[in-house]
Copies of this chain bind each other. A is one copy, B any other.
Amino acid sequence: MATPTGQRRGRPPRISRAEILAVARRIVDEEGVDRLTMRRLAKDVGSTPMALYHHVRDKDELLVLLLDEYAARALRRPELPADPRERVVAAAAAIREALAGQEWVAQVLTADDLMARSALWFTEQIVDGLVECGLTPERAVHGYRAIWYYTAGELLVRAASARRRAGDDRATYRERVFADLDPEELPRLAAVGDRWARLTAEDTYLDGLRALVDGLVG
């Protein structure tokens, strides 16, 4: 709060929300989101845990702010195709592109959902593209929602398997299950057998997205 003369009152701030977020981002990037604790963050900022609570409400808000800021930076608006169906595909793919690979994003994502004003432009493109394909505005919103479910699911499931690969040992469990399936009971899976791991590791996001969009626009 400023006084009528423009002076600030009380003790001047030593740390800012922006500084807190920058340091948090560095910890997350270098050591993973699990290592981001309020105590550790305070230490790296050169302050105390409780000082942080003057700038963010709690740890949850910190994570959401982190995601919003990342989205604002990473979601550069691309040139989109003129064809409405291709525009929908390209907008969804751009969101996924920006969020994939950032392992920590998936873990925060479940705490927020379509995040930040910065993502709304993409939402607009998708809804608009679907309307131009002939859907009513209501069905276009539902279509956007389906696309978001698919995209978020891909991000979350893939992040989970990446984490599991890091922790080993359960990957071999799945391989064991698929290696000795009963071909009587589960013939298709038994036939795929050892190719399962390779097949599900392939990046088929775009194929699935196109199928979904094709199905949505009829």
Contacts and interface: CB of A to CB of B under 8 A. Distances in A.
Interface of A: 64, 106-107, 109-113, 117, 120-121, 123-124, 127-128, 131, 137-138, 140-143, 145-146, 148-154, 156-157, 159-161, 163-164, 170, 177, 181, 185-189, 191-192, 195-196, 199-200, 202, 204, 207-208, 210-216
A108 to B, nearest CB: 10
* Complex A-B, nearest 7 residue pairs according to Cβ-Cβ distance, in ascending order: A153-B153, A146-B208, A215-B215, A211-B215, A149-B153, A214-B215, A152-B153
A127 B188 contact: yes
A42 to B, nearest CB: 24
Contact of A127 (B107, B143, B189): B189
B110 A110 contact: yes
A189 B122 CA distance: 11
B138 A199 contact: yes
Contacts of A112: 160
Contacts of A157: 110, 113, 148-149, 152
Nearest to A149: B153
A51 to B, nearest CB: 23
Given A127-B189, A137-B188, A137-B192, A149 B154 contact: yes
